[in-house]
Structure 1
């Protein structure tokens, strides 16, 4: 079900994507609503799962995870139960930051945040080599983070 969003909702979403820690009184001022209206709208957007969750975005290098690795995985079989098992395994792995089931030459694209190459090597053994459904995988090692974000572009309606 698609939630109907008006310009106030869209403005609020744009603001909280930038900084979810912004006080509601400041949000109210920025979007021309009362603090009570902001509170009601944010609660509704969360209840309707438009807002999935509030998080803190950390700098990986500052907490000992300087290495970002992108892996592309091709599977042997696309049987639903095998794919679902892989999705669960990937979702449960703390070092996997993002995982996408994709169309094209590869079946999954997985983004890891790891402390060092040996940690990634251990993960490939447990996630890829030990899984009979992994046909092959390719590894790309990030040299620098150019842009990292989860913000969805917000376009106000006319």
Structure 2
């Protein structure tokens, strides 16, 4: 049975979401624990799967990926073989940074990063639209990013 997450765990998780590079002494001070119990709690949160992994969040524009594109994808069928083939192929495409199986109008919603609109068009025609089973792709181009967060509301 999974361990219940209490308020101290939530404080630890909030602090780590904000800055995963914080050292244990600073973290312990921030959440009101001594270092040893704080480290034990972090390890338990890691072992339980509450903390999945630690990552660096990169700035796409600073690295030459000036565009974020959302693509709605419709497949020719929703059978297991078609869906599994599509998901397998999408996992191989580094430009696709998110892929969601949808309930509703389209089958999948993808978030894609690209250098510019020409790079996205080449990606769509050479890769995305060529995946067996893809019937249609509708591209949505956001005009402005209002909010972007990786932090969960704990």
Give yes or no for contact 2:75–2:107 (8 Å, CA) kept in 1.
yes
1:134 maps to 2:134: yes
Match of 2:30 in 1: 30
User: 1:123-156 deviations in whole A, cap 9, x for unaligned?
Assistant: 21243321231121110112222211221110xx
1:19 maps to 2:19: yes
User: 1:40-70 deviations in whole A, cap 9, x for unaligned?
Assistant: 1111211222111111111111111111100
Greater CA deviation, 120-129 or 90-99? 120-129
3-state SS of 1:55 partner = coil
3-state SS of 2:127 partner = helix
Q: Calculate the TM-score normalised by the size of structure 1.
A: 0.89
Distance across 2 between alignment mates of 1:50 and 1:81? 32
Give yes or no for contact 1:12–1:31 (8 Å, CA) kept in 2.
yes
Match of 2:48 in 1: 48
How many pairs were matched up? 154
Query: RMSD of the alignment, in Å?
Result: 1.6
Q: Calculate the TM-score normalised by the size of structure 2.
A: 0.91
Structure 1 residues 59, 83: CA separation in 2 closer, same or farther (over 3 Å shift)? same
Q: Which runs of 4+ in 1 moved over 6 A?
A: none
- Deviation, structure 1 residue 2: 4.9
User: Structure 2: any 5+ residue segments left out of the alignment?
Assistant: none
